[in-house]
């Protein structure tokens, strides 16, 4: 993992600090890049926030570069990436709101559990230790990685059919094709193996301190049609997070799949998150 922030993230952090506005940190998940948040960042900037969209360590700038050099994604663990985002946040003058999707949702809850978030939104999150349901669709969505133990230390791309099932299950064929072309990149296999074994490993990095009184307000957003992070996973996470003394809420969006942050219905999800952040940050 790199120990320094990229020039782009340095510039975003500096701009956020200079603005005096509340920063909002966006955390993407597997098979996506920070650019997947570009439209969201514009909405939050217009609403008076200072968006910061760091990549995972070593993320390429573009989808084309990512697909040409998949090896840069290999070996990134949940702990590596969580520490990377903690470093970014530590350089902000104000405690940010934090939003994440998929494994970015898990990372958001880890960051919140470290007391680094003013308010958090986790969207169709990956499971953490204590979340017990393992629906068949989630196992099938993860099977391109989990099906081969050697993939743990590799970077794994999705075929179109795999992306269609895991991400774009609730959109038309034409839109699914466009999303795959515009957004899909390879991903580290390590986090999926960590999440799959989280309940068997007391020392797992895939865990969130949901009882920390400094966790702050948390909203979980679930897409009812999501194959990768079905409602059973999000509701189990909500039940655990509700043990926290702070505000914990869940919002359910009908007929939405795992691509809900990037597909044609992204604005509904964005506005749901923004409304929650406005209430608390």
pLDDT at 3: 41
Domain definitions of the chain by residue range: 7-280
Q: How far apart are CA 163 and CA 107, in angstroms?
A: 22
Taking alpha carbons only, the member of 237, 220, 216 closest to residue 280 is: 216
How are beta strands 218-223 and 187-188 bridged, if at all? unpaired
Residues near 140 by beta carbon (within 8 Å), at least 6 away in sequence: 165, 227
The reported pTM is 0.96
pLDDT at 34: 97
Residue whose pair of structure tokens reads 């939405």 in the numeric block: 256
Q: How far apart are CA 160 and CA 177, in angstroms?
A: 8
Q: How far apart are CA 65 and CA 47, in angstroms?
A: 32
Long-range contacts of residues 42-48, Cβ cutoff 8 Å, at least 24 apart: 43/267, 43/270, 43/271, 43/274, 44/274, 44/277, 47/274, 47/278, 48/21, 48/22
Taking alpha carbons only, the member of 108, 151, 148 closest to residue 126 is: 108
Q: How far apart are CA 168 and CA 226, in angstroms?
A: 9
pLDDT at 1: 36
pLDDT at 7: 85
Q: Report the chain's C-alpha Rg in angstroms.
A: 17
Q: How far apart are CA 1 and CA 31, in angstroms?
A: 18
pLDDT at 5: 57
* 281 residues of the chain, pLDDT tens digit each: 344 457 889 999 999 999 999 999 999 999 999 999 999 999 999 999 999 999 999 999 999 999 999 999 999 999 999 999 999 999 999 999 999 999 999 999 999 999 999 999 999 999 999 999 989 999 999 999 999 999 999 999 999 999 999 999 999 999 999 999 999 999 999 999 999 999 999 999 999 999 999 999 999 999 999 999 999 999 999 999 999 999 999 999 999 999 999 999 999 999 999 999 999 99
Q: Are 244 and 215 in contact (CB under 8 A)?
A: yes
pLDDT at 140: 96
pLDDT at 171: 98
Q: What is the DSSP letter of 131?
A: -
* 51 three-state secondary structure: strand
Residue 70 Cα distances to 4, 7, 85, 221, angstroms: 21, 21, 21, 30
pLDDT at 251: 98
| CATH fold of the domain at 7-280 | Rossmann fold (3.40.50)
């Amino acid at each position: 993992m790199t120990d320094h922030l990229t020039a782009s993230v340095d510039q975003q952090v500096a701009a956020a600090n200079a603005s005096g506005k509340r920063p909002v940190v966006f955390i993407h998940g597997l098979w996506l890049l920070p650019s997947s948040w570009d439209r969201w960042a514009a909405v939050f900037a217009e609403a008076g926030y200072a968006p910061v969209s760091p990549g995972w360590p070593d993320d390429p700038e573009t989808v084309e570069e990512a697909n040409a050099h998949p090896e840069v994604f290999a070996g990134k663990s949940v702990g590596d990436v969580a520490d990377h985002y903690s470093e970014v946040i530590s350089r902000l003058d104000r405690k940010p709101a934090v939003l994440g999707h998929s494994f970015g949702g898990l990372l958001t809850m880890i960051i919140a559990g470290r007391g680094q978030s003013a308010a958090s939104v986790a969207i169709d999150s990956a499971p953490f230790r204590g979340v017990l349901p393992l629906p068949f669709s989630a196992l099938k969505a993860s099977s391109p990685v989990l099906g081969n133990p050697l993939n743990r230390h590799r970077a794994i791309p999705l075929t179109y059919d795999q992306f269609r099932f895991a991400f774009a299950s609730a959109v038309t064929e034409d839109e699914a094709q466009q999303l795959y072309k515009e957004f899909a990149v390879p991903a580290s296999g390590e986090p999926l193996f960590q999440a799959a074994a989280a309940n068997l490993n007391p020392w797992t990095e895939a865990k969130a301190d949901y009882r920390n009184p400094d966790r702050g307000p948390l909203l979980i957003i679930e897409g009812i049609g999501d194959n990768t992070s079905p409602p059973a996973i999000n509701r189990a996470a909500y039940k655990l997070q509700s043990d926290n003394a702070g505000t914990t809420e869940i919002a359910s969006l009908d007929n939405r799949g795992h691509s809900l942050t990037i597909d044609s219905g992204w604005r509904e999800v964005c506005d749901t998150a923004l409304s929650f952040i406005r209430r608390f940050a």
